[in-house]
Amino acid sequence: MKRRRIFISAGFWIGLSLSLAHPVNSWADAMPAPQLNTGDDVSLIAGDPNHFSAFAQELPETLSRMPAIDPESGLHVSEVKPGLFYVTEGVYQSAFLTTDDGVIVFDAPPSFAHKLLSAIRQHAPGKAIRYLVYSHGHHDHIGGSGVFEDIEELEIVAHEDIAESIAANGRPGILAPTETFDVSHKISFGGELVKLAPASFHSEDVDTIIYLPRQKFLIAVDSITPGEVPFMNFGATSDVGAYIAFFDTILEFDFDTILSGHVSVLGGRDDVIVAREYAHDVRETVSRGMTTFLDRFDVMFQKFNHENANLAYRATIEAVRRECAAEIIDRWKGRLSVVDVWADSHCQTMILHSIMH
Ligand SMILES: [Zn+2]
């Protein structure tokens, strides 16, 4: 099995050695010793330092928060606040609010949308589904909306940029919005209030903060992952700067529970604060590493005989990334789960951000 961690081919290595009559110290000497388990690849080969068993288990604190998934339905459905339910199959999340006049649904992940209708009917018997709200335009959160196709008088609410994106890139199964907004929007229905505000922390189009003030419940999909460090590249954000600024924005809302669309648990304000601290720590760690970036590049380029600037640049990035990941894993391994899985990715994302900003 080829190891991606060995990023310079053996051919290059041999060629470099042969081309130097008086070789300088190995360029590898200038690089920190490789850190294990920083997520470049995962091996199934026994004895490999990146064997999956060498990665840390989820922390007990994280595991203890996870709800039981009903083996029959494959879902967990629970009433978070009176009339407000959240649904998960363990990876994605959706929610629905029952009102005097019908049901408002938030997102329809394709991974369990086919079960969502029966869950709603079970917990809101006899009530019509009247609204489906899209958090953002990504297929993995709204791609199951087709299951609502035959529901009469259903309003599908989304930001106008999401509607445009769906029209331009729509995949089969995603229902087109019927009610769009620009700056902000309110759904006042059945004695309940849902506020929608555009935001920017993840999607390349627009994100939507969905806020239920009476329930102090906030939906910000693909933002944090309670109990865990963020998914790859800080939740696959399209804008790292906006992602970091988002924590302060969201903490201005008066909420006590946040649904972030992923992992099986709901979060609280503390989860947002910890996620902010983590992102800031990665940013500051990278920032320290980048102070010597150009000097390190010069040393590396020289060791590469001034033959391949791209390779020297990559090697310099790798060195800063490895140091950052080692520090971050050390500081966070007891606080958030799966930091050894994603720290490398977070450090690399932040390095690129730092180079460009
Ligand atoms: Zn997304």
CATH homologous superfamily, domain 69-267:
Ribonuclease Z/Hydroxyacylglutathione hydrolase-like (3.60.15.10)
Show the tokens assigned to 142: 């709204």
Q: What is the DSSP letter of 224?
A: -
Q: Which residues are within 8 A (CB) of 24 and not within 5 positions of it... i.e. 6 or more apart?
A: 302, 303
Question: Is 38's pLDDT higher than 80?
Answer: no
Cα(246) to centroid(ligand 1), Å: 15
Rounded to the nearest 10 degrees, what angle do helices 293-303 and 309-332 cross at? 130
Cα(138) to centroid(ligand 1), Å: 5
Question: Is 17's pLDDT higher than 80?
Answer: no
Point out the least confidently predicted range of 21-25, 78-82, 226-230. 21-25
Cα(205) to centroid(ligand 1), Å: 10
> What distance in Å separates the CA atoms of residue 260 and residue 257, rounded to the nearest whole number?
10
- Segments making up each domain of the chain, as ranges: 69-267, 277-357
Global pTM? Answer: 0.85
Cα(262) to centroid(ligand 1), Å: 10
Which secondary-structure segment (H or E) carries 157?
strand 155-159
Question: Is 4's pLDDT higher than 50?
Answer: no
Only one residue has tokens 């339910």, namely 85
Only one residue has tokens 């329930």, namely 215
Beta strand 217-219 with 257-259: parallel, antiparallel or unpaired?
parallel
Cα(141) to centroid(ligand 1), Å: 7
Cα(321) to centroid(ligand 1), Å: 25
Cα(171) to centroid(ligand 1), Å: 15
Cα(101) to centroid(ligand 1), Å: 30
**Closest to 250 measured CA to CA, from 228, 236, 267:** 267
Only one residue has tokens 């590249």, namely 233
Give the bridge partners for 157, in sequence order: 133, 179
Cα(93) to centroid(ligand 1), Å: 12
Task: Give 48-61 pLDDT, tens digit per residue.
Answer: 878 888 888 899 89
How confident is residue 43, by pLDDT bands cut at 50, 70 and 90? confident
> What distance in Å separates the CA atoms of residue 141 and residue 122, rounded to the nearest whole number?
22
Task: Give 201-230 pLDDT, tens digit per residue.
Answer: 999 999 999 999 999 999 999 999 999 999
Per residue, what are the HEC states of 15-32? Answer: HHHHHCCCCCCCHHHHCC
The full DSSP string for 62-95 is: HHHHPPPPPTTTS-EEEEEETTEEEEESSSBEEE
Only one residue has tokens 């993840």, namely 202
Range picked from 2-16, 46-60, 190-204 for highest mean pLDDT: 190-204
